[in-house]
Amino acid sequence: MFVLNLIYDKEFIYMNKYIKRLRNKFFYHICDLFPEFVTKSIYKERLNKILNLVTPVTFNEKLQWLKLNEYNNAKLVTQCSDKFW
């Protein structure tokens, strides 16, 4: 019985790694396609609040708005935030 559980555990660990890898690949592509949706869902999940991007009030909402609207593919922001030139 112990050997069977050990084999099952190894298979479970392998499947768990495989599922995580698939989830990460899926999430990476979703982030590229729908950045606003992903930002809102992560904000809701972590802070348990709805993200208001129309009229941002809190500092965190304003940072998310800047990330999606102003800093999206801005070369100057990338250059200023890099540690190495």
Residue 56 placed within a domain: yes
Is the same domain home to 70 and 51? Answer: yes
Is the same domain home to 38 and 72? Answer: yes
85 pLDDT higher than 70:
no
5 pLDDT higher than 90:
no
Q: Provide the domain limits for residue 52.
A: 34-79
Is the same domain home to 4 and 17? Answer: yes
Report pTM.
Answer: 0.62
pLDDT at residue 1, as a whole number: 47
For the chain, the domain total comes to: 2
Is the same domain home to 17 and 48? Answer: no
What is the DSSP annotation of the chain?
-HHHHHHHHHHHHHHHHHHHHHHHHHHHHHHHH-HHHHHHHHHHHHHSS----SS--SHHHHHHHHHHHTSTT-HHHHHHH-S--
Residue 66 placed within a domain: yes
| pLDDT tens column, 27-60 | 778 888 888 988 998 899 899 999 999 999 999 9
